[in-house]
Chains A and B, each alone.
Chain A
């Protein structure tokens, strides 16, 4: 009953005219960002983040969340029509989606993708709505030792499941934590690594880092491999799927929803992985596995649903624990903190209008996406025809405006350029830069939790074990490490002893 009342209050916030407007702007911009190759949800969020500073917190978060799940919708359009993923989570959709388009069935692929995304996204928000309040009640009882242990678990998990090698991922995590120490120390006021510069007294600009590492570096990478895109153009009439299409895709949508909801909750596991798992499952369960890769509709329905089903549940670690599970949610975290809202277990109690307003807007936004996306597919196709030679400078200009508005200072532009070059080189060397950004945002919170724990315990490290919740998290950490070590050892044995003669 409380949940229903709270949700009703949330709708009263989300249905305010300006908030509906910002929701529409967010989902449209998110879709555009998802459609355009080279601009992912993170760059799309980082580009608009500075422009939300003047908005009230509800509107800002509603718009940014709209960009987040809108980009997941948009990515499938380019995957299906051009065979180029609009964003990383739509890679797998290229396989069967484009094959369907080549056979003149782009319409059903787009419709099933949109419907599956709507269903997965809506269920995901439902899970967020039901579980987040319960989890936050539980987390209100934990103190700094458990907070520290939980964040360490999140970072270790991120390091072990990162997309590049474990060493490289951990290097990025440690580098991010180090970057997070730049500025005035929160506890003692000592200036660390500022070299007398006032620009970094509050720490490195997160917006400049995010835009540099993801926006500018992506543009630099794409400038190397530009080609004119020739998308397939479906007509509005051809969008209608058959009854068989809907019947075949329904179970895939159901399974994709479960997979996406589960994967979204775990920090560090990318939403990209949920799409691969969904595709593999559909292929395994299908009566016609040999047809996968040649235009099976389940190969589109499952992954796209899983992709969108991560959006709601990935907000659970962010809103309840204050831990961004993927880089895009790190931007949301940054936005909340800029507006003076500390995400964590107290968020639902201290700012119920923000939490429930966001939930309600996500229901509305998911519906707007499925209603707008299909009629506007022609517009999005035309966007794909804009030569990248025009898009790239435009994105650079928007990025510059974005970082400049943070402090009206050219220093931010320099920072963005430096991180742009760094991101470009790191990605060339197969480093995943996402953990670096996540670690930056978690760094000072981990440090604060650690130092507070030692202050509380008067220097006794056993506080991390004596605290029940901290001990649980540390046990989880030990289990994860043991499992990983076992996997490595088995891999090592297989590699080195595979050819040994047992006699």
Chain B
């Protein structure tokens, strides 16, 4: 609401220049108050849909890799490590990790922002989901890199 006071207090002395300046200031304030200043909500939703559809294809390949041999056999340690040694499959796993982390945590953000709308809540939710997203991607990437490194040993 800070920008509201700013505009109201100055409304009596506004010139065309000051209106332009106020608009710019308002944009900057809006950027500060929106928690992800470089993306509009509509752009975030486009990313949400693109990552969702992308995840559909890569997860389908991931599941099919489990079904090219009897399911129990495909989960044996040697077979799983063989999958990770394949650089294309490792890249596929990394893409699954990134796509689902972005899609999933943004979905969680949307749900949490539907429940409550205050500035502190929105900022806390945005920070929480970004940190969680980066954390899970880092942790999963560590597994992929180390498991892929088994081929070097």
Q: Do A and B come from one complex?
A: no
